[in-house]
Amino acid sequence: MSLILPLEKPALNLRPLLWLLLPLLVLATLFFWPLSLIVEQALRGANGEIGLETFRQVVDSKRFVGALLNTLQIAFFATAGCLLLGSVMSLILVFIPFPGSELIGRVVDTFIALPTFLITLAFTFIYGSAGLLNGTLMSLFAFELPPVDFLYSMQGVILAEITVFTPLVMRPLMAALRQIDKSQLEAASILGAHPLRVIGQVIFPAALPALMAGGSLCLLLTTNEFGIVLFIGAKGVNTLPMMVYSKAILESDYTVACMIALINIVLSLGLFSLYRLAASRTGVRSQPC
């Protein structure tokens, strides 16, 4: 006579679900819920109904169009400057070592931890109307007005952002350059290859993932930068973050402010999507910055 033993069902393990629930709860509380409030406020018209009335009002505004163009112009030129300056400095620090190069590398890492307004304040002390450079030139050449006045313009904002965000390009780029096999560079040098050709055919392909990662991060940060533009006080330079601030704080127009903030979020996500598309086309994988 055979005995049939009942099979016990394994107890349901809820611990993985609980570990998943905690970060989802934090994201919902700190991100998704405030974002949903912004979206609701942006889409709610004056009559209380959900629609695109505020969106059409914002898009038709010349002030918004100017702020959007300024934001894109500052972001692209600042990112290009960060990539150019960061590439040159990284090549020098990695492949042309000199006394003090390690110290400069550590200073570059320290720059990342500094607040953006500190660099802007230093620019004001050096290049401002009453700064060190203008004071020296006015005392030496008897100028009636400060001869250097680029700081309070779009060029000053771009230069300040290049100074602040270039270390974000250099850090991953220097790490990538140090991993290049030096024997390849020596072989190219023995064969008589021009340094520019070595950079283009050997160094650049190896550094491309780091360049795209650092450049995309700079592009996103410069698109959403608020403190530098506000602290410099550039004349006639209005950006989307500045417009959100002025609409919400100065004019108390929260509906329009939320709509501009929503457009700024969509713009940032669009730029990040372009980076992901370009990375997939070139076979570049994302690297942490």
Give per-residue pLDDT as tens, 161-195: 999 999 999 988 988 888 887 777 777 777 777 77
Is there a domain that residue 230 lies in? yes
Using CA atoms, how far apart are residues 26 and 199, in angstroms rounded to an integer?
A: 46
Helix axes 204-223, 62-95, angle to 10 degrees: 150
Instruction: Count CA atoms closer than 13 A to 58's CA, side-chain side.
Output: 25
Q: Is 118 or 15 the better-scoring residue by pLDDT?
A: 118
Q: Is 207 or 76 the better-scoring residue by pLDDT?
A: 76
SS3 274: helix
Which residue, among 164, 156, 152, 79, has the nearest Cα to 115 in the 3D structure? 164
Asked if 158 contacts 77 with a C-beta cutoff of 8 angstroms, the reply is yes
Quickly list H helices, 179-249: 182-190, 195-198, 204-223, 227-232, 240-245
- What DSSP letter does each residue of 66-124 carry, written as one string? HHHHHHHHHHHHHHHHHHHHHHHHHHHHHHS--TTHHHHHHHHHHHHHS-HHHHHHHHH
CATH number at 119 reads 1.10.3720.10
Is there a domain that residue 200 lies in? yes
Asked if 41 contacts 258 with a C-beta cutoff of 8 angstroms, the reply is yes
For residue 131, what pLDDT band results from cuts at 50, 70 and 90? confident
Query: Element (H or E) spanning 268, and its range?
Result: helix 254-282
Is there a domain that residue 256 lies in? no
Is there a domain that residue 130 lies in? yes
Instruction: Give the list of residues 6+ apart from residue 222 with CB closer than 8 angstroms, or none.
Output: 74, 75, 78, 79, 161, 165
Is there a domain that residue 265 lies in? no
Is there a domain that residue 77 lies in? yes
Question: Quick one: average pLDDT of 53-77?
Answer: 93
Domain range holding 100? Answer: 59-239
Is there a domain that residue 65 lies in? yes
Q: Is 58 or 4 the better-scoring residue by pLDDT?
A: 58
State residue 48's pLDDT score.
Answer: 74
- Count of domains in the chain? 1
> Lowest-pLDDT range, 23-27, 71-75, 163-167?
23-27
> Lowest-pLDDT range, 44-48, 227-231, 241-245, 246-250?
44-48
Is there a domain that residue 119 lies in? yes
